[in-house]
Structure formats: structure tokens, C-alpha cells
Amino acid sequence: MHFPVPVQHARLTHPKYRADIDGLRAIAILSVVGFHMFPLWFPGGFIGVDIFFVISGFLISTIIFGSLERNNFSFLDFYIRRIKRIFPALLLILFACLLIGWFILTPAEYKQLGKHIAGGAGFISNFILWGESGYFDTESAKKPLLHLWSLGIEEQFYFFWPLLLAFVWKRKWRFVSVTAAIAVISFAFNIYIIDKDYKAAFYLPTSRFWELMIGSILAYIVLHKPHLNVRYKNVQSILGVALIVLGMTLLNKERAFPGWWALLPVLGSFLLISAGQNAWFNWNILSNRLLVWVGLISYPLYLWHWVLISFARIVQGQTPPPDARIAIIFVSFALSWITYQMIERPVRLGGHGSLKAITLLVLMVLTGLTGYTLYRFDGFDFRDSERDVGSLAKQYQKWDYIFNQTCIDKYGRDQLTFCIASNANPEIILFGDSHANQLYPGLVKAYGKSKGILSIGNGPPLGSVKVTFQNVTGHPWLFGHESYKKVLREIKNSDELKTVVLSSSWDPLIHGSFYPLENHWIPTGSIFLSLENEYPRSDNLDVFKFGFEQTIRELLIANKKVVIVIDTPEVMANPELCLKNINSDNFCTFKKSGVMLRQKYFRNYLKEIKARYPQVEIFDPVPIMCPQEACLMHNNKYLLYRDFSHISEYSSGKIGRQLRVVIDSLE
């Protein structure tokens, strides 16, 4: 059969409008908005994105299947329609973020926003966000364009799917066989990768395309086997609703998602669409005028609501109170309706389709280049001269001491969070997690070329203890256990490494959670300690003591000199708010008494360690960081912290000078 050459006047085949699908869109967007605004009330609302994936796969595949089979498919017409559908509201959002960010973001925040604008304009946000999901990543709730990850996956699908189907059509292969094969492969990859790298499973198109493929399979069935859909349509509809409700009820951010759990919203959406608009639930509920109206504005509503709540979090330094979030929801609906009526509809309807598409494409390229320029030139940091922040903002989150080739050549990079050495034969090793690594530049500066410094690790140095970290965004993972054992072997077998400096974020390990307040710990992340071949236990302190002493004994037996560093104070104020309110003590100070209260368990334990192992030295950086009762975050010239829990390069230098004195005392 002849495959037509794309021509501008070609007209694609489109499915008959179904109000119930707009109603299903409404269910999807309302669940997402609910999850973002009130996650405790709508813990599984994020599955709305998966519902959107199925709808997109169904509608787009219906167009492509039908058009190819009628010999009237045009790539040009297809992509013109996609540009007119996707670009207008997205361009508005990207421009709004540029404008708002200019006035309220620090250079570091604005620089990151520029990268995300470039990624959003190029529809690769999912890859960028996947690459950012590391140890020092900015809190996701404060990324105004975080939600564009799903749009990136959809646009990647829109790019590759028509090309593949055209290839399949020319060779007279069966659409349904190819679609099903891709769905199975993608789902299998999703199941395979979820336990190895759940961030990859969440962001990569290869682990998400199966959801769109399920919609594509349904499109083929509707076109070629419609009699299958009319059977038990009410049963299909009710079962579909039940699966979606079950997903919203059972799922939360701590589940390994997508994985097997994604079958709930995906199969639920499949059944609801398959039931057809004449099924009772579809006709009476999903086709309700109010839901249809919400469905019509679902795309701009998806774009607007997250931008507004994210900027609100940035301004306030925390999640806004409930009344403010409700107000943001109303504003989001208003802006979405205006966007739909005044921008989306005028661009999509009417003539001059090619001219509109070219104009939108040029604007998107210019917007992406603007974002890249913003990223390339450090968030236009000259803006700070007008806000009396000066060079302080330039220091925020700056850290160039994670990896270098000298260390990698000798120790490798596998399973390590950081590996950096000042020369090829270091004598002093900083061993632990990132709170050890933060001491590296200061110690290197203190010793100069007289002694080499090595900083290496991926977790706390706790002997045979396994550290399992469960954060609120997903899957638990084992923290640094194998890399710890590997590094410990290297230390014990090395004649060059003579002094071991043990440093870590000790207190979360003991308390079992992150993000402290003045006198308690917020359970936003849980840490479970366990011995090898045992299940994680709740009594972290006992397990911690066992593993910590095991490490000390092994190092002393290997004739290593040991220095234990008490952790630097946790920041009680928000560094971003401090930069924006540089002259306010409310944002730039915290109490030393709160620090000592949180550290009391570890400090008391160190007294036992010193009594049993008098040759071990203890170093306390708290007096350096908090010379008085008020601990500062800056000294007018330098930032003392680079984020919530890590000190700046300047502070590392101050601590390094005094840490050298303690290390030298062992000789």
C-alpha cells in the first residue's frame, strides 16, 4: 500500500469528541492539584499524571492509526497541531517564571530556573531532573518547573511514535503487535529498574512509555474491535473507577512508583475509556458540565498551579498555610480559564496554521536560549547589587570538591558520592558522608603541600551496620554500605594513610530522621540501622554504638590515628531566606542551645569512647561556628553555610586550621 508524502493540505483523521474523556481529564488534574496542595488529604493524587498518559496515548494513536489507514496522514499537519496545542500555554508559563524569578530569586535559584526553562522549552525536563536528583539537589518543591517532566515524556512520545508507526505501516506490520511489544518491554524495564534506581524509573521515558502504549492498544481496539468495548460497559466503567480510587487511597510518596503500582491508574483509565461515553458513570458523572469544564482547562491548570505553589514556598521558605493554598487554587483556576479562552483557543482555532506554528516554534527556541543564557551567566548575579546581598549570593550552594581524577584513578568511582585527593599519596583521609567531605577544602588549605588529603565515602562509617534511608519521595535505599567496606579495606591496607578523620551527620543516625527543629526531629525522612543479615531495628542508638566502635577498633588495630569530628551545627534558618533578608536576624541566626540539645546523645557517647580509647582525639567545631549563643549564617562578607546542613568553603577553612592542630597533636 502506498504511503503518502506529507503535504500541507492533508487533514488528519480525528476521533469523535467524547465529553467523558474531558471529565476523566478533570479527575486527573483535580487529583494532581489536591496532591500538590494538600498531600496529607490526597496522598495518591500524583497518579493523575498516569491517567493523562493513558488519555494521550489513546487520542494520539487514534489519530495516527486512522489517518495512516486512510492514507491521509501528514507529519507536517500532525506536528503543526501539536505545536498549536502545547506551545501557547507553555510559552506563557515559561515567560511568567522568567519574570517572577527576576524579582524574587537569588542568583543560584535563578540560574537553576534558567536551566529548567531551557529544558522545558526543549522538552527534556525529565532528563534534567533525573540528573539533578543527587545528594546536593535543591528541594523539589521549590523547583517551579518540576512538573514539566511529564510534558517532556509526552512530547518525546509524540516525536517518536508517528515515525515508528509510519515505518510499521509501510512494511505492513500489525499496529497492535508492535504496540503490545513496546508496552511489554517498557513495563518490564519499569519493573527491572524500580529497585535499582527508582528516580530513573520515575523520569525515564523507557519506563513510562508503556502507560501511553496501553492507551494506544485501546485506540486500536476501538477502531478495529469496537464490539469488544460495548460488552459489560457498566462493569468496565465501575471497575475502572474502583482501580483509580484504590490507587489514590493506597498509594503515597513512599511507595516504589511507578513499578507494579502504576497498573492501578493505568488499567483503571483503560477501562473507563473503553467503557465508552454511554456507560452510566461516564454519561452521568464524567460528562457532567462542571467536570467537562475543568477538563477543558486541565492543561493550563496543570501548568499554573505548580508554578504558583512553588514560588509561594520559595518566598515563605516553607509550605504556605492552608488558607493561602486554597487561595492559590482559586487563582490557578482563574488564570487557567483566561489562558484557555484568550491564548489557547485563538491559536488552535482559525486559519494560518503554518504561520502560527512557525511563530510559536521561533518563540520557543528564543525562550530556551534565554533560559540557557540565564544558566550560563550564573542567574544574572548583577541583580544582587540592588538588594545589598553582594557577593554572598554567589557563594550559595557553590561546591567544587566532590570528584577529581587523582582520586578516581586510585580508588574508582563506583558507589561513591565523593572521591577527591590533593595528591596521589595522601596521608590523611576524611572518611564518612558529605559532612566529612565538607571539611576537605579547609584541611587542604591548612596543610598546603606538606601533606596530602583524601576525602572519600558514600555514607556514615559504621562498621557492619547497614543504613537504610527512606525519604518521603519514594523508594528506600541502602546508604553506602558496600562502598564503606571497600574504603575501609583500602585504609587498613595502606601504608600511606596514617590518620583517619571520622565525620558524619551523626545525629540523624541516632534519632532516625532528618530536618531538625529546635528540640525535636521532623519525620520527613526515616533512617533505619541494622546489622548485616538482620532486619532494620527501631533502636538506632544501640546499633549505632555497635557499628561506630567496630570502626574505631579496626582502625586502631591497623595502627591508624583516629580523630572523631562532632558534627557542624544544623542550620535552623533557611539559607535562601537569609540571602533575601540579609539584614534580619530572624532569618540569619539560630540558637546554639538547640544545637547542643540535639547533639547531647552523641556527645555523651563520645565521653564513653574517650574513656575506652584514650588515644582517639575528639574535635568539636561548634564553638567555631557558634562563638556565642546566636549561631550565624553569614558574617557580612562570607556565607557560613551553603545549604541547610553543609558549611561553606569559607567555614571549612576556619575549621580546617584548628582541625590541623588536633591532627598534628597525635604525632
Q: Are residues 451 and 530 in the same domain?
A: yes
Task: Output the pLDDT for position 619.
Answer: 97
Q: How confident is the model at residue 106 (pLDDT cuts 50, 70, 90)?
A: confident
Task: Output the pLDDT for position 5.
Answer: 37
**Is the distance from CB of 128 to CB of 153 less than 8 angstroms?**
no
Q: 8 pLDDT exceeds 50?
A: no
For the record, the C-alpha cell of 76 comes out as 507536517
Q: How confident is the model at residue 380 (pLDDT cuts 50, 70, 90)?
A: confident
With respect to residue 35, please indicate whether it lies within any of the assigned structural domains: yes
Q: Are residues 592 and 514 in the same domain?
A: yes
Task: Output the pLDDT for position 514.
Answer: 58
Distances (CA, A) of 305 to 44, 51, 142, 155, 193: 18, 18, 13, 21, 31
Which tens digit of pLDDT belongs to each residue from 526-560?
777 777 766 555 568 888 888 899 999 999 999 99
With respect to residue 12, please indicate whether it lies within any of the assigned structural domains: no
Q: 355 pLDDT exceeds 90?
A: yes
Given 361, 385, 409, the domain boundary residue is 385
Q: Are residues 327 and 470 in the same domain?
A: no
Task: Output the pLDDT for position 538.
Answer: 53
Q: How confident is the model at residue 639 (pLDDT cuts 50, 70, 90)?
A: confident
Task: Output the pLDDT for position 389.
Answer: 61
Given 385, 406, 424, the domain boundary residue is 385
What gap in Å lies between CA 549 and CA 532, rounded to an integer?
A: 16
Task: Output the pLDDT for position 516.
Answer: 45
With respect to residue 9, please indicate whether it lies within any of the assigned structural domains: no
Task: Output the pLDDT for position 470.
Answer: 64
Given 337, 359, 385, the domain boundary residue is 385
pTM of the prediction?
0.76
Strand-pair category, 499-503 with 561-565 = parallel
Q: Are residues 378 and 399 in the same domain?
A: no
Q: Are residues 358 and 454 in the same domain?
A: no
- Please state, for a pLDDT cut of 90, what percent of the chain lies above it: 58
**Residue 470 φ/ψ, nearest 5 degrees:** -120, 105
Task: Output the pLDDT for position 475.
Answer: 44
Task: Output the pLDDT for position 644.
Answer: 76
Q: Are residues 193 and 150 in the same domain?
A: yes
What gap in Å lies between CA 34 and CA 43, rounded to an integer?
A: 9
With respect to residue 4, please indicate whether it lies within any of the assigned structural domains: no
Q: What is the CATH number of the domain that holds 531?
A: 3.40.50.1110
Q: Are residues 367 and 469 in the same domain?
A: no
Q: 12 pLDDT exceeds 70?
A: no
Q: Are residues 354 and 414 in the same domain?
A: no
> Greatest CA separation found in the chain?
87
Task: Output the pLDDT for position 7.
Answer: 38
308 or 520, higher pLDDT: 308
Q: Are residues 341 and 249 in the same domain?
A: yes
Task: Output the pLDDT for position 396.
Answer: 72
With respect to residue 330, please indicate whether it lies within any of the assigned structural domains: yes
Alpha helices of 251-352 — where are they, by DSSP H? 263-275, 280-281, 289-296, 298-316, 322-339, 345-348
Least confident of 288-292, 451-455, 523-527: 523-527
- Please state, for a pLDDT cut of 70, what percent of the chain lies above it: 89
What gap in Å lies between CA 309 and CA 143, rounded to an integer?
A: 10
Average pLDDT, the chain: 87
For the record, the C-alpha cell of 286 comes out as 464524567
Which tens digit of pLDDT belongs to each residue from 31-56?
999 999 998 899 999 999 999 999 99
Task: Output the pLDDT for position 9.
Answer: 41
With respect to residue 284, please indicate whether it lies within any of the assigned structural domains: yes
Q: Are residues 348 and 416 in the same domain?
A: no
In what helix (H) or strand (E) does residue 362 lie, and over which residues does it extend?
helix 353-376
With respect to residue 10, please indicate whether it lies within any of the assigned structural domains: no
Domain count across the chain: 2
Distances (CA, A) of 269 to 264, 275, 281: 9, 10, 13
For the record, the C-alpha cell of 203 comes out as 523520569
Distance between terminal CA atoms of the chain? Answer: 85
Query: Who contacts 212 (Cβ-Cβ below 8 Å, separation ≥6)?
Result: 53, 54, 56, 57, 60, 154, 157, 161
With respect to residue 571, please indicate whether it lies within any of the assigned structural domains: yes
Q: 521 pLDDT exceeds 50?
A: no
Q: 205 pLDDT exceeds 60?
A: yes
Nearest to 297 by CA among 350, 343, 364: 343
Alpha helices of 38-147 — where are they, by DSSP H? 48-69, 75-104, 107-121, 125-132
Give residue for cell 497541531.
81
Which structural domain range is residue 543 located in?
Answer: 395-664
Task: Output the pLDDT for position 246.
Answer: 96
296 or 353, higher pLDDT: 296
Mean pLDDT of all residues in 373-379? 90
What gap in Å lies between CA 333 and CA 227, rounded to an integer?
A: 39
3-state DSSP assignment of residue 516: strand
Q: Are residues 381 and 419 in the same domain?
A: no
- Four-residue CA torsion sign, 418, 469, 598, 516: positive
**Is the distance from CB of 157 to CB of 64 less than 8 angstroms?**
no
What gap in Å lies between CA 316 and CA 328, rounded to an integer?
A: 14
Q: How confident is the model at residue 372 (pLDDT cuts 50, 70, 90)?
A: very high
Q: Are residues 434 and 375 in the same domain?
A: no
Alpha helices of 494-599 — where are they, by DSSP H? 506-511, 540-557, 575-580, 585-588, 592-598
Strand-pair category, 525-531 with 465-471 = antiparallel
Burial class (CB in 10 A: 0-12, 13-18, 19+), 504: buried
Mean pLDDT of all residues in 512-517? 57
Q: 390 pLDDT exceeds 70?
A: no
